[in-house]
Amino acid sequence: MSPIRLAIVGLGKIARDQHIPAIAQTEGISLAAVASRNAAQPGIAHYATLDALLASGEPIDAVALCTPPQVRRAQAQMALEAGKHVLLEKPPGATVSELAPLVAAAQASGKTLFATWHSRFAPAVEPARAFLAEHAPRSVTIEWKEDVRVWHPGQEWIWEAGGLGVFDPAINALSILTRILPRPVFVTGAHLAFPANRDAPVAAEVDLADADGLPIRAELDFLQTGPQTWDIHVETDGGRLTLASGGAKLFHDDAPLIDGNEAEYAGIYRHFVHLIQQGASDVDLAPLALVADAFLIGRRSLVEPFEY
Amino acid sequence: MSPIRLAIVGLGKIARDQHIPAIAQTEGISLAAVASRNAAQPGIAHYATLDALLASGEPIDAVALCTPPQVRRAQAQMALEAGKHVLLEKPPGATVSELAPLVAAAQASGKTLFATWHSRFAPAVEPARAFLAEHAPRSVTIEWKEDVRVWHPGQEWIWEAGGLGVFDPAINALSILTRILPRPVFVTGAHLAFPANRDAPVAAEVDLADADGLPIRAELDFLQTGPQTWDIHVETDGGRLTLASGGAKLFHDDAPLIDGNEAEYAGIYRHFVHLIQQGASDVDLAPLALVADAFLIGRRSLVEPFEY
């Protein structure tokens, strides 16, 4: 079977840092084109827009949408209607409701739609899930605190409506949480701090629970300088489990269980190839639905303006 | 078959104005008890709380939860686990995500869970749906403008986080919209105006669309004095359709088609009895998901404080 010919749409930081190296090391898929207004990749066919790429007749089988979430829905619909498989960076869209028509379009066209959650491919995630299937969780604390100026330098879209602000990184924690816990969770309260000049929050506290009353607390900050924190602590009836460094490391009562090499995007592309081969889609909206609920139910406060 | 013995939980304005008269006129169901901290119904068994009612051994088959949305999830879970059918007033919860565990609990217990949208039982709704199945919509305008001081006198919960503010009435419009249109819709933009002293919006503009690009605009206001407006206008390839007065009236190119007697809650209770007889549930979260998305994607502004 010849490799899946993939086009990257939106050649920004995440595409260069993660997608291109992962595609290069994944069997069954190869980079065939790039659609990006401001950037190109040496030796790869280049188009300014997805529109232009699709109109060109360039032979591609699939697209990876690495554009900001606010523009992804229209691109995904266009690609599916043109008979292409679609991989969506996280979050899968600017809203939860815009995904249902895309799922229907993928079904109608017989193509794969894959809403990726890269953190779910971190090395500690599946071992943590297995542990929590055996040892009941008693409480969960999420600490997701990073410096937006380091990790999202100059990214204005993240502060615009639909850009999620601090929830852009924190949705990674929620994607892990919803994978490792044995039961579905829901938001019970939230507090969101909006910079006075921005439409997305810079910090938040979110309380969640499951139907058994498991207490879950998430503390999120986008202005953390010094050491960066992407940790999930779970107290269980079998001791304390900690996923650290965004899921790269796993500790049980402070003893290291996993200290893995980060290879999230290689996992994503292996799964994408597998989904296409199976004629299947994979769209889990739970993490984005939790964020929408935090906005819905959250108290708001205004804090000082943010500028890069 | 003996009638379903129903308990109303939360004997407030909506329970007195709508539920009690509708139950009285519906075959197959009767009011057997009330759980309400501050109010009782003459001649009906009374308990202060749902907890006390369930502990009493009072023989009931079902509960109608007319309490504020912020407390309904825990009550619904308790009732389902006690083997009771559950009817939820709108909105079905304070968040979208809290509903999935309730749906699972209803399935596990074999009981009916009915998330009601009373406006869907308005007389113009099914005729409008039939019209729009035949005549393609070209644009939709929703105007939902009412005086909160008249319709929600003193209701503080509506202004609290999870109380929805102006979306408490506007979700009725969205429940009609999602019933009458031929395709699913999603939010593309929103602007929410929050009183400086409140956690829920007093006014909003919401833009929506479907996968074919149908433009939908909703204009929502909670401070409308004088004439009150609950109208949905749909321009179609077969003329202009207007649902007026919250769906009580239907016009085609200004000619009246329907001028119905309002009987929404009688319709709700007939459907609840039917669902219980069939062993089925009916939980459509689309209207609440659209509201969550409007909060997620919406720009925010602060307006003058609100006091009753």
What is the structure's pLDDT at B123?
A: 95
Per-residue DSSP letter, A16: I
- C-beta atoms of A296 and B299 within 8 A: no
Report cis status (omega within 30 of 0) of the bond before B91. Answer: yes
What is the structure's pLDDT at A176?
A: 98
| Nearest beta carbon to residue B101 from set A73, A161, A210 | A210
Q: Which of A71, A78, A80, A95 would you mutate first to test chain B, the one with the most B CBs within 10 A?
A: A95
Tell me the mean pLDDT in the region B188-204.
97
| Nearest beta carbon to residue A95 from set B95, B199, B293 | B293
Find the catalytic residue in B13, B84, B90, B145. B90
What is the structure's pLDDT at B45?
A: 97
- Cβ(A295)–Cβ(B289) below 8 Å: no
The Cα–Cα gap between A200 and A193 comes to 9
ipTM of the complex in this document:
0.95
What is the structure's pLDDT at B275?
A: 98
- Beta-bridged to residue B217, according to DSSP, are B141, B207
- Cβ(B115)–Cβ(B282) below 8 Å: yes
pLDDT by residue for chain A (308 residues), tens digit each? Answer: 689 999 999 999 899 999 999 999 999 999 999 999 989 999 999 999 999 999 999 999 999 999 999 899 999 999 999 999 999 999 999 999 999 999 999 999 999 999 999 999 999 999 999 999 999 999 999 999 999 999 999 999 999 988 999 999 999 999 999 999 999 999 999 999 999 999 999 999 999 999 999 999 999 999 999 999 999 999 999 999 999 999 999 999 989 999 877 789 999 999 999 999 999 999 999 999 999 999 999 999 999 999 99
Please name the residue of chain A whose CA is at the shortest distance from the CA of residue B178. A97
What residues in chain A have their Cβ under 8 A from chain B's Cβ atoms?
73, 77, 94-98, 100-101, 104-105, 161-162, 183-190, 194, 199, 210-211, 286, 289-293, 295-300, 302
Residue A11: CB atoms within 10 A of its CB come to 22
Task: Write out pLDDT tens, residues B215-264.
Answer: 999 999 999 999 999 999 999 999 999 999 999 999 999 899 998 877 89
Name residue A50's amino acid: L
- Cβ(B63)–Cβ(B9) below 8 Å: yes
What residues in chain B have their Cβ under 8 A from chain A's Cβ atoms?
73, 77, 94-98, 100-101, 104-105, 161-162, 183-190, 194, 199, 210-211, 286, 289-293, 295-300, 302
What is the structure's pLDDT at A7?
A: 98
Residues of A in contact with B211 (CB under 8 A): 77, 101, 104-105
- Beta-bridged to residue B257, according to DSSP, are none
The Cα–Cα gap between B290 and A295 comes to 12
Give B278's contacts (C-beta < 8 A, 6+ positions apart).
none
Model pTM? 0.96
Query: How far, in whole angstroms, is CA B54 from its chain's centroid?
Result: 26
| Nearest beta carbon to residue A296 from set B187, B295, B302 | B295
What is the structure's pLDDT at B6?
A: 98
The Cα–Cα gap between A254 and A251 comes to 5
Query: How far, in whole angstroms, is CA B35 from its chain's centroid?
Result: 21
Active-site residue flag, B111: no
Measured between CA atoms, how close is B190 to chain A, in angstroms? 9
Domains of chain B: 4-115 (3.40.50.720), 122-260+292-303 (3.30.360.10)
What is the structure's pLDDT at B262?
A: 74
Measured between CA atoms, how close is A185 to chain B, in angstroms? 7
Task: Write out pLDDT tens, residues B141-190.
Answer: 999 999 999 999 999 999 998 899 999 999 999 999 999 999 999 999 99
What is the structure's pLDDT at A166?
A: 98
Tell me the mean pLDDT in the region B14-30.
96
pLDDT at B129 over 90: yes
Report cis status (omega within 30 of 0) of the bond before A91. Answer: yes
- C-beta atoms of B211 and A187 within 8 A: no
State the helix-helix crossing angle for A167-180 and A286-297, rounded to 10 degrees.
120
Closest to A106 (Cα-Cα) out of A261, A283, A255: A283
Interface A:B, Cβ pairs < 8 A? 111
- C-beta atoms of A290 and B161 within 8 A: no
Task: Write out pLDDT tens, residues B83-106.
Answer: 999 999 999 999 999 999 999 999
pLDDT at B1 over 80: no
Measured between CA atoms, how close is B266 to chain A, in angstroms? 30
Average pLDDT, chain B: 96
Measured between CA atoms, how close is B300 to chain A, in angstroms? 7
Order of all β-strands in the sheet with A299-303: A255-259, A249-252, A239-244, A229-236, A137-145, A216-221, A203-210, A185-195, A299-303
Does residue B200 sit in helix, strand or coil? coil
Residues of A in contact with B295 (CB under 8 A): 292, 295-296
Q: At B79, phi and psi to the nearest 5?
A: -65, -45
- C-beta atoms of A298 and B161 within 8 A: yes
CA distances from A97 to B206, B288, B294 (A): 14, 10, 10
What is the structure's pLDDT at B53?
A: 98
What is the structure's pLDDT at A260?
A: 79
